[in-house]
Structure 1
Amino acid sequence: MQFQVPQFIETESKLVGPLTLKQFIYLGVAGLISFGLFFVLKTFVWAMATILLGIIAASLAFIKYNGRPLVVILQSALAYLWKPKLYLWQKQEQKIEEKEMKVPEEGTVSKLKNMWLNLITKKPPVNKL
């Protein structure tokens, strides 16, 4: 029996029309901020702010670089900029424990082993009985 291998596993499901949920949230938040700024700012300033917000939201929603979303790249860049850059290597002393190995005693060899050793290593042929 053959199993069906899932394909397109890296594509997110489209929830709102042709947009994924993340894309819809980015664009929706930019739209809500723009709608709120409409009542606070004058028309020309509001238009410039809306264009800027739209560009930022669209880039966060749609731009991918090397298969990574722009949000992940910006998070990595901010984490790199936030952390200290001075790395000091301090060698830590480690105790090396030496285990004592037991050496087998080379004393007596059993008669059977001695006979087998002579049988294998002897140069003159073994006498036939």
Structure 2
Amino acid sequence: MQFQVPQFIESEDKIIGPLTIRQFIYVGIAGAFCFVLYFMVEPWLFVLLSVIFVGTALALGVVRVSGRPLTHVVRAAFSFYWNPQLYLWQPKQTSLDRHKVSLETLAIGGGIGNNREDVIAQGALRSAWQKLQTGNKMSNQQFFNKTDERYQIYQKLAGDRQAARRIDYR
């Protein structure tokens, strides 16, 4: 059994002469406004307003932008301007963020993080990962002028050990 495949799905049926029902409604509404304006305003103002109304009606009925009717484009434009959206950048959650292990637990637990090199390497890895995610690219001049960062592990009065960047203000 063969079935006929519909073609030209995007096109609307021409119902009233060369106009579709949607186009006819737009032109009919503009014609009704022009008829009312003929009796209400001066002739020069009638001509001006009727040109604007009929031109707008024909544009809404006939013009297509990227294959979509102008009414869809106008509706999207009004929605964009009347309902502004707030877009915030939110980085993806990484495995480093999900499995955050504080320096204190690493230092107390023994093994990893007990020595200074492990703690410093972990901090350097985090900053490198953040720079990779945010797209921070260093220029050649910044690369050569960069001073080596110095880290120092210190112990609080409570016995907790932490790594901190040492800054010399000389």
TM-score higher than 0.5: yes
- Per-residue deviation at 1:44? 0.6
Please give the per-residue CA displacement for 1:53-110, whole angstroms capped at 9, x wherever unaligned: 111011001000111000000000100111123234679xxxx9xxxxxxxxxxxxxx
Determine which structure has the larger helix proportion and give its number.
2
Determine which structure has the larger strand proportion and give its number.
2
Q: Distance in 1 between matches of 2:42 and 2:65?
A: 36
Report 1:11-50 matches (<5 A). 11-50=11-50
Give ranges in structure 1 of 5+ residues lacking alignment. Answer: 97-129
TM-score, normalised to structure 2, is 0.51
Structure with bigger RCO (C-alpha 8 Å, 6+ apart): 1
Shift >6 Å, 4+ stretches: none
Q: Distance in 1 between matches of 2:90 and 2:72?
A: 32
Structure 1, 35-44 or 82-91: larger mean CA deviation: 82-91
Q: Distance in 1 between matches of 2:28 and 2:84?
A: 36
RMSD (Å) for aligned C-alpha atoms? 1.8
Q: Distance in 2 between matches of 1:88 and 1:10?
A: 37
Q: Distance in 1 between matches of 2:6 and 2:12?
A: 13
SS in 2 for 1:32: helix
- Per-residue deviation at 1:24? 0.2
Q: Distance in 1 between matches of 2:76 and 2:84?
A: 14
Q: Distance in 2 between matches of 1:84 and 1:43?
A: 41
Alignment size in residue pairs: 93
